A and B are shown apart, each in its own frame.
Chain A
């Protein structure tokens, strides 16, 4: 395996971006909004397409604004459909993101006359091409570093608010915090993170990083600060392991076919797979320690236990 400077940058960018996603992802998971990442990643398509149609260019700023607007719109529309139509939350999210995604596909088809744009380049941006840069430090690495920094700052600043809104929204409201506003803020941060991240690394890594490290961490601890730290650690580790996997997997497969010159596969996708592997490891550890619920259906007590006589 030849390790070049490019590989180093891929790993650094991956670690930064994975960690940046894991922080809002942990709170999304606690709020039971894990599928929102998936929803947003589909739903930003019309935002991007409209930004393209309006500006006729692929500049970053209008694209990010359009995508963030679409992301927030997803969350708001889902709430509306859920409350007004009394539709179950999962189905509401499904309807909204499917609608926006379909609209986006059509708009992109219409826009493709004017600008070079297809759904692939939006959904599967690749970290490998992004780190190739003229300057010394790739732009992507700077963006993801900044994103991570901002997310850490926001988490530290609003730690108390986020925690109370996640664990007991009713208490938060009675104590004078607006739980809905906090959640909306979280959604906005998650959208911005999602959009900035998958402009460079593709949506699949973002969806994975929003939930998998946090879920793995939640198997090992019940304390929020430990959960966040574990999640950051898992995210960083899966970035490293994922890139190694991306380099080695094609060689393994190539050996079956007698091909030794296969290039590396998508690092972003393999980082998601690595995160899944880490989740399995965490689950195993938790199972060995007896921290999982081993028997999901509680047996009906046939005899009075001594404790109940007290």
Chain B
């Protein structure tokens, strides 16, 4: 089952990425619009509102450059959404922040090494390798501090982040003073320059994303276990340390490939936000992973489109804002954990509880009115209950009473009398009141007889449990308490001392 889900995710991701790589390769068909891979921005002219033609060309991906950037950023969004979900569930989201800051000294050092070895200091693979090395080092530093000292998780993250980033900044300042003059583009790693993405960058991102997706699919079951119960995984003999390292390695990989596109300050957002948004929609890991991937990809798409249409907008920031909008929408409307869903659920429960309280209160009032109690239960519920009495007997405020009555009227369980100062139960109301009171009393009786709960405590306890008591429990209780007088109808209130024959049975 797991394997099947993993494979389906893998399939979709690979199809997505395959399509994107086609976009990159199919270059010859639109040579006319090509600006080459010179690293210039897609659009250099500042126009306030794009023409219809421009919008069409952007959406239809007519420009080769636009297509390259779309492919790269969308793939990056997908990969980071995928990896970010596992990171989020492992409760290590902010580790991505630390790792991304840790890549900066690596870039500086790699540049220095490249210059010293008289290579071109700006060769991208070298810089990215340097970034990956210090990223891994920073990650290991966090893990070591966490394991080998009393310093807490968050402090370990902040320490490594600030020290490595400080070193990175210091190196950058030095590097920029070197007379080779090659260092000009290095600051792009901080803020990113999505619009300047070349097709080789995009291919690198695509290959890395496909690799990340493959690894995630292969280790889906293992990651799932690690994320939801690491201790259990360890006791089952899984190499949790290795698995953790694999996951962190994926994070470093996504961060490094994201540096060029959105910059080290915003690649964090790509790892955290889509995953956090997807979490609101499902309790199933497979669905969450898939959704995070889609949200990441869509935000990437939207960001690039916006910055292609409005050249003033920085692409990285728009990508993040698009993801944040998705997050906010999910927070409110998410189908599983969203605010609306939880609010509705809460309201429904409150409603049910309120209705049951009202019905039982009326029943009990009727019971005290009729003498002797418990007899003639069929006609018992015909007597009208004055609102004032009802309120006073239960210590309800005026507001609470009105609230309860409204619910009762809405569901046609009670009716007002002619002179509007008393209510009586309708036929449905009587049935429901009997059922509710019966559940309550069955539970009370059970507690009293079999759970050894003191009589003065049972009412409160039953009050909590009666609303969630299920029909099969009621059946069991009936069996258990069978043979008691009146068990078929509503048992009398056990709080009033009565002699009941004990039977030695257990649930």
Which residues of A approach B to under 8 Å, CB–CB? 29, 32-35, 37-38, 42, 81, 84-88, 90-95, 98-99, 101-103, 105-106, 109-110, 119-120, 124, 204-205, 207-208, 210-212, 214-215, 218-219, 245-246, 249-250, 253, 256-257, 259, 262-263, 265-266, 268-273, 275-276, 279, 283, 286-287, 291-294, 296
Contacts and interface: CB of A to CB of B under 8 A. Distances in A.
B97 interface: yes
Interface string B163-181: 1111111110110011100
Contacts of A93: 94
B86 to A, nearest CB: 13
A99 B151 contact: no
Contact of A279 (B159, B171, B174, B265): B159
A86 B318 CA distance: 26
Given A99-B324, A257-B115, A293-B150, A84 B88 contact: no
Nearest to A86: B337
Given A95-B273, A109-B314, A253-B112, A211 B162 contact: yes
A91 B162 contact: no
Contacts of B276: 85, 87, 91-92, 94-95
A262 B152 CA distance: 39
A12 B352 CA distance: 68
B99 interface: no
A286 B167 CA distance: 24
B496 interface: no
B324 A109 contact: no
B158 interface: yes
Contact of B151 (A219, A265, A296): A219
Contacts of B317: 101-103, 105-106, 109
B313 interface: yes
A219 B150 contact: yes
Contacts of A94: 93-94, 96-97, 268-269, 272-273, 276
Given A98-B266, A292-B148, A257 B166 contact: no
14 contacts: A29-B155, A90-B94, A91-B91, A98-B320, A106-B321, A204-B165, A211-B155, A211-B162, A215-B156, A218-B151, A250-B173, A257-B115, A269-B168, A269-B170
Q: Output the residue of B170, B269, B313 with the most chain A CB within 10 A.
A: B170
Contacts, number: 217
B312 interface: yes
A269 B167 contact: yes
Given A292-B148, A296-B147, 18 more contacts: A32-B155, A34-B159, A35-B154, A35-B158, A85-B337, A90-B91, A90-B92, A93-B94, A94-B268, A98-B324, A99-B324, A102-B320, A103-B317, A105-B316, A204-B166, A269-B173, A272-B165, A276-B164
B458 to A, nearest CB: 30
A161 to B, nearest CB: 21
B201 to A, nearest CB: 21
A34 B169 contact: no
Interface SS of B by simple majority: helix
B166 A272 contact: yes
Contact of B93 (A90, A246, A269, A276): A90
A259 B317 CA distance: 39
B151 A88 contact: no
B158 A276 contact: no
Contacts of A291: 150
Interface string B259-280: 0000001101100110110011
A204 to B, nearest CB: 5
Q: Which 10 A-B pairs have the closest CB atoms?
A: A272-B166, A276-B163, A98-B269, A208-B162, A102-B320, A269-B169, A94-B272, A91-B93, A105-B317, A34-B158
B170 A266 contact: yes
B192 to A, nearest CB: 10
B500 interface: no
Contact of B150 (A120, A210, A218, A245): A218
B162 A272 contact: yes
Contacts of B337: 85-86
Contact of B88 (A29, A38, A91, A215): A91
B158 A87 contact: no
A245 B162 CA distance: 16
Contact of A95 (B149, B150, B158, B272): B272
Nearest to A291: B150
B93 A88 contact: yes
Given A81-B331, A90-B91, A293-B148, A262 B159 contact: no
B69 interface: no
Given A87-B279, A95-B327, A215-B159, A246 B178 contact: no
Contacts of A273: 163, 166-167, 170
A86 B339 CA distance: 10
Nearest to B146: A296
B157 interface: yes
A270 B321 contact: no
A32 B115 CA distance: 42
Interface string B96-117: 1100000000000000100110
